[in-house]
Each structure stands twice: as structure tokens, then as C-alpha cells.
Chain A
Amino acid sequence: MDSLFPLNLPSPTIWYTVLYLVTLLLHVVFMSYVLAGSIMLGVAGLRGMLGLTPRASAWAPVTKVLKDWMPFALSAAITAGIAPLLFVQILYQREFYTANLLSFHRWMAILPVLIVAFYLLYLLKAHRIEGRTAVQGIVAMLVMACVLFVAWSWVENHLLSMDRAAWPSQYESGSMLYANPMIFPRLGLWIAAAFPVAATLLLWQLRARASSTEPGAAAGAARSLGLLGLAWTLVAAIAAWPVLVSSAPNAGADMSRWLIVAEGGAVLAVLAWMGVAARRSASPLLLSTASAGCGVMWIGIVVAREAARWSTLGGPAIIERHARVGTLEGFIVFLVFAVLGIAAVAWIIRCVSKEVRRPS
């Protein structure tokens, strides 16, 4: 039996691929919260504008937490995104750069859009617009539009980077939009898979602030998030296989093995979501199971996606490039500071949590 992708590649390529995947997964945690969270806020905002939200909505505690934490989540998503952005430049430099250049202004637009989204999130959190349903609704929908634009741009960029044959004609046309029938199915897959992660994180957050949430509202929120997680995990599980396989039919076993892993994770998550929805509460065991299921599902998805990319772009030239660029000079420094950094972050979280919980 062949080794599992990416372990069947030469060592420098394995090294950078694994680092890319690990850091991408960290980014996925925050990205999912922002992507699904912005959609939840946008939909809630629209419902509020249309007068469709009952006063005692089960979503009220959820939107409250989202408004409070989305600015930080967006900052964290951007920060977490820097490392995979770095490693993709090692792995597929020519392809990534070319896709950026071909999309030009339309690609660069994601940066001001992110800044706008960030300030809109603070505006959404501001006391000044509390109770002003129309304003809140518009702001929330603008945030959703900004985040969806960024997500769409990334999917388009990824597919364009893989389509070498299209580069000359894309450049000649001067178009900053790349047409590919797989863009929206892939975007849909990312959105679907983001919801279960966001639901899990929100349930952990609601659990942490259980003392400040009314029990009835907490139960309603748990049920709603459980059902949301359940529905979207099923959608992601069903969509993952056709969406990823159709974009790289030659990936074969490299991809299908990881898709099986993704489906296994989805099954685990579905079981946990069913428990959460039925019990209207999220016990640590159920939440841990949902977290593990989502984690495994995402591992399967991102590695399968990478296998698809490798089956299209990989080859002797790119392997040779990795071997040439690959160097351990500086790695020890990175490792040492990574350990120190993790220790510093752990200390901050522990110390601040302790003092915040301390009775005043």
C-alpha cells in the first residue's frame, strides 16, 4: 500500500506541506467563526429588519456573543492566516503569485474590505446603535457581504492558481474575474464546513458564560446551535466528495483516503450534534466529541484539497524547487520562539482568566 499523502512526497515537500496544513487548520478555526458568524449576524440582522425575530429568540444569546467576539476573531483569523500565506509561497510560489497578479485590483480589494469589515464589527458592537434594528441590520449585512467577498476571492484565487493553461488568455483578456464552474460549489463547501466549527466554538463560549445567560435562553441556544451544526455537517459531508474530486479527478487514492477521514469526522460530529439538539444542552463530553469530529472533518478536507492541488501542480520541477529552497537555517530559532510564544500565550490566558473569575 502506498504511503499516505503527503508522506509519499520527498522530505522537503512533506515538511512544508505539513507546516502549511497545520497552520491552515489553525486559520480555519478563526476563519470558520468569522465566516459562519458573519452569516449568522447578517441573517439575524435581516430578520430583525423584517420584524421576523421574536423577542425571546433562541438566537439572542448567540448573536450577543458573536457581536462581542467577532472583532477579535477577525483579527485572529488574519493573524492566523499569515503563516499559511507564508508557506504557500514556498510550496507554490509561481502559481500563487501568478493568480494574485492576474486578479490584480479585484484581489487586492480584499484588504480594504477586511478593514471595513473590522470597523463595521466594532460599530455593530457599539452601544450607540443598540436597539436601532434597521441600522444594526444594515451593518450586519454589510459585514456578511465583506466576509463573503473575501471568501469568494480566496476560492477564485486558489482555482486560478491551479489552472496554468488559462493564465495567458486570462491575462490577455484583462478580466479580473476568473470564471470556473467549481468556484461556487467550493465556496459552498467551505461555508458549510465552517458552520459546525462556529457552532462548536459558540457552544463552548456560552458554556463559559453560563452564569450570565438565562437557563431557558441557554437551552434554546444550545438546541438551535445543535441543529445548525447537525444540518451543516451533513451538507459538508455530502458535498465534500463530489466538490473536491471533480476539481482534480487525477488525485485518486491520495485524495479519497483523506475524504474518508473527513466523512468519519463528520459522522462523529453528527452524533454529537444529535445529542446536543436532543438534550438542549451541551455537556463537556458532547462538546468535546463535536470538536473532535469537526477537527477530523476539517483535517480530511484540507488534506484532500491539498492532494487535489498536488495532483494538478506537483512534479519534478516543483519538488526540485522545494529541495533547493528548503533549509533548516533559522528553523531552530523559529522552534525556540514558537515554544516561548506558546508559553507566553498560555500564561496570559491562565493569568487573565484567573483574575477575571476572582470575586471583586
Chain B
Amino acid sequence: MTDDAAGTLVSYPVNDFGPAMKGMVIGGLGIFHVFLAQFAIGGGMLMAYFQWLAMKGKEPAARRVLDSYFRYLVLLSFVVGAVTGVAMWFTSIQVSPATIGKMVDTFHWLWATEWVFFWVEIIAGYAFYRYARVLSDATRLRLLIIYSIAGWGSLFWINGILSWQLTPGEWVKSGNIWAGFFNATFWPSLVYRTIAAMVIAGLAAAVVVNTMPDVPRDERGRLINRTARFMMPIVVMPVLGVWFLAVMPADSREWVLGGSPAMTMFMNLAVGASVLIGGYVVIGLWRQKLYINGATATLLLALAFGATAGGEFVREGVRKPYSIREVLFSNSITPAEVARLRVVGCTTNDPFPLRDAAAYANHQLQIGALTYRNQCSVCHTVDGVNGLTHLMGSWAIDQQRMNVAKLQQTKGFMPPFSGTPRELEALVQYVRWESAGRPRPWEESRDGQVLAQIKAWLDEAGTRPAPERRSKSEAGGIPTDSTSAVASSDSPPPSR
């Protein structure tokens, strides 16, 4: 379910990924794509550097690396990079059509600009790949510089769009795309990714150098030392990391710095792997001029992959409860829609029926399954990864009702519940039924007092997400929204 630019709800079919969390699917693909794409970008820069070294006579063997290594670069980046890039689009559609739709609507001209860069990249890269052996040194260098600029340019554009998701800044108020594009995390993120690209390429080059036994050992040592110099900007990474942390939203920073164990762990993974690589590059390869064999280079490359994985996980995770901060919750409901859905319901206008309606013991469970599908399934499964039966199974029934009704207070990174009290009760019953092993029969819960209590809890929690509520209360009071007017002190106690 989503809200397009007009505020009209659009229902999309929701697919079930089985026991795998949707975030794992897009995250896994994203890590693979980012690693490959950064490798291609850094590879272009390294090639240009090696070509320059070779033509200036500073490192004659650099030419041999260039002609062998570039084949791998081309093969990997040209199509796997391009196809996984398209795959990111398609997977985003599968996971959250509303989010990718909003991104496309907002930044389509910048995406079109990125497409121009793809073209230049592919033509320059293929021309080099195919004709490098017959081209003059000057033309080779120019081609590689064009390839590098085009590759880095595509990073420039996509970086602005991705960082906008976390820190859309003034765009939220003005709608000016440049205010959104050049957002608070744009520059630290861009420089960080550029250096990451250089390091990945440098480590890959160290692996390739070790696959060239016809190059004498001392020459290989010199080449590896050259790659170490190329990777030296890694020393700036800690500064960029701190800069990124400093400008990200305060609540997101809290998740990373201990508020969320999973995010803190992945952050530490990224930092730890980067420190190890950086230490080896700066002290071992550059300062002590050590030789690095293929196995060690591969291990460092694997660490770089781990750092990329950790970094991407954190980047995706810190946006919670939003997929686009202040604009769209991760379940594709806009903040403005929450109050309305509390009245009309999130399942009322869903045109897509359940695939297995007959498998549910009663109508209420069907509503519960629909509520789960529309509000929870983007981040949770029923009993797989991040499964609701595991997360809620041990809670008492009133605890389940209250915790879901006050979801944004139960967990700060959760969006507010966006449905009627009946839908919330149906969701609770659905989770309980699933936890009990889907027994038949299962009695419907129809207690009016329960629904009234749920409504009271919903009203107490309000329709705004946790951080905003906190900042508003700090500023002098929590604004009352339309639905909270129903909240009353004489709400009946829970009956079950």
C-alpha cells in the first residue's frame, strides 16, 4: 500500500518471501552490487594511474597488469554490475514499490543523467578492452580517464539519491530536488564511497599481480607498493565516518551507537574490517614495503567485502522507521495517512485477496493476515527471520495489544500502527493463531471492551513516530491529532 504524490492510496500486490526477510533479499543483492560497482569505479581510476606510470616510464610492468587485469574488470563490471543495478531496481519494486516509485518520481532527471554516464562508461571501457593493444599511450590514458570520470559520475548521482533517503533535509519542505540531492550526508558518503572503491580496486589488483608469474618478484613487489599508494586515502576514512555520524539524524545515530545491538554490531564489523585493511595497507604495504601474496590479498579483499556488507546494512537500517525519512514509513504508509487509516482501516480497500483464504480458521484471522501483509511483511515474517511469532509469542495478550497499539513507543524504530482497533485485534489473534500452530477451530474475539481499550491505547500513542514526538514534546507539547480526541480516562480495562 502506498500513497502516491496526490495522497491517493495505491494498493500493490504483496509477495511472500517465505522465511527470508525482504530486507535480507535486497540487502544481499545490494551488497553484491555495491561491491562490484565500487570495484569497477576504483578499477577505472587504478587503470588510469597504472597507464600513467607505464607511459611515463616510472613503472614499465604496470602496462602488463593493465592489459591482463582490465579483462576481469570489464567482464565483471560491464554486465554483472549493470544487471545487478537493474536487479536493484526490480528488487526494490518487489520489496517496496512505494519507495522506489517516490525515488523515481523525484529524481528521474538525475537518474536519466546517470544513464548518460553509463553509456560513456560502457563505450570507453569496451573501446579500451577491445583495442587497447593497438592504441597509442595517449589515447589509452584518455580512454581510461573518461572511463573513470564516467564511472565515478554514476556514483555521484546515485549517492545523492541514496543519501537523500536518510537525510532529505530541506527538500521535505521546499520540494527542491537540489536541496534533497546535496543533503547533509551527501559529501561524507560520496568521499567515503570513492575511497572504498579505490581500496577494493587496489586489493583486487594485488590479487591479479600475484597471478602473473612471468613478472619478476621485485617488479611485482614494486607494483604492489604502487597499489598501496593508490589506496592511501584510506587514512581519511575515520574522519569521514565521524562526519557521517555527526550529520545523520540523532535518533539514527543512537541506533548505531548502541541503541540497536544488530546495527551496532554491523557498524563494528564495518569499522573493524576497515581498520584491519587500513592498518595493513599503511603500515605493511606502504611504510614497510612488504610484499603481499595472493592468499593475503584475497583475505583482505574478503574483509573489504565484509566492510561493505556492514556499511550497507547500517545505511539501510538507520533509516528506520522510514524508508524515506519524514516522507514514507518502511511499510509504505505516509505519516499523513496514519490518522486516516486508523479510521478507514488498512485492509478495507485492498483489492488483492488472500491467496489461501480457506486456510484460515475464521474471518477475523483473514483480516489479521491482510493487516500483517500490509503493515508488517516488509520487515517481518510470520515465523522465519524477524518473525512475529518469535517477537510477540511470549507476550501476554494484553501486552501484545498494547505494544502493537503503541508500536512507535514499544520500539522507537517502528512506525505507528496504521489501522482500526478491529484490525489490530485481528492481527493479534492472527499472531496467536500462528504461534499455536494454526489450530481449527479458533474463536473470533468480539469483545467490545477490548476494542475500546485498544482504541484508547492507539489514541494515547498518537499517529506520529517516536522521534518526532520526542522533539515536539521537548519543544513544548505533543500536538493532538484528530483520532486522539477519542482517548478518554474512563476507557474500560482490558477484558482478556
Contact = CB atoms under 8 A, between A and B. Distances in A.
Interface string B100-129: 110011011111110111111011101100
Contacts of A334: 109-110, 112-113, 116
Interface in B61-97: 75, 78-80, 82-87, 89-91, 93-94, 97
Interface stretch (B3-11, B224-232, B312-320, B445-453): B3-11
B426 to A, nearest CB: 20
Nearest to A108: B90
A355 B6 contact: no
B146 interface: yes
B134 interface: yes
B66 to A, nearest CB: 17
A82 B115 contact: yes
A360 B355 contact: no
A89 B6 contact: no
Contact of B123 (A100, A329, A349): A349
Contacts of B136: 355
Contacts of B87: 108, 111
Contact of A89 (B82, B84, B101, B130): B101
B473 interface: no
A285 interface: no
- What is the interface of chain B mostly: helix, strand, loop, or mixed? helix
A69 B129 CA distance: 13
Contact of B146 (A118, A324, A344): A344
B111 A101 contact: no
B493 interface: no
B139 A337 contact: no
A72 B78 CA distance: 9
A171 interface: yes
A120 B110 CA distance: 34
A83 B93 contact: no
A271 interface: no
Given A86-B111, A100-B93, A333-B113, A174 B5 contact: no
A168 B11 CA distance: 11
Interface stretch (A91-99, A127-135, A187-195, A235-243): A91-99
Contacts of B150: 344
A238 B471 CA distance: 68
A81 B117 CA distance: 14
Contact of A348 (B13, B91, B123): B123
Contact of B104 (A90, A94, A327, A344): A90
Interface in A5-26: none
Given A79-B119, A86-B111, A171-B13, A115 B75 contact: no
A5 B78 CA distance: 37
Nearest to A346: B123
A284 B135 CA distance: 28
B301 interface: no
A174 B126 contact: no
A320 B6 contact: yes
Given A100-B94, A324-B5, A355-B136, A167 B120 contact: no
A81 B109 CA distance: 16
A75 B122 contact: yes
Nearest to B147: A348
Contacts of A351: 139, 142
A76 B127 CA distance: 13
Contacts of A85: 86, 89
Given A329-B177, A333-B109, A355-B136, 6 more contacts: A79-B82, A89-B100, A101-B12, A329-B178, A341-B116, A345-B120
7 contacts: A79-B115, A79-B119, A97-B97, A111-B83, A325-B108, A330-B177, A344-B124
Interface of A: 71-72, 74-76, 78-79, 81-83, 85-87, 89-90, 93-94, 97-98, 100-102, 104, 107-108, 111, 114-115, 118, 122, 167-168, 171-174, 320-321, 324-325, 327-331, 333-334, 337-338, 340-341, 344-345, 348-349, 351-352, 355-356, 360
Interface of B: 4-6, 10, 12-15, 75, 78-80, 82-87, 89-91, 93-94, 97, 100-101, 104-105, 107-113, 115-120, 122-124, 126-127, 130-131, 134-136, 139, 142-143, 146, 150, 176-178, 351-355
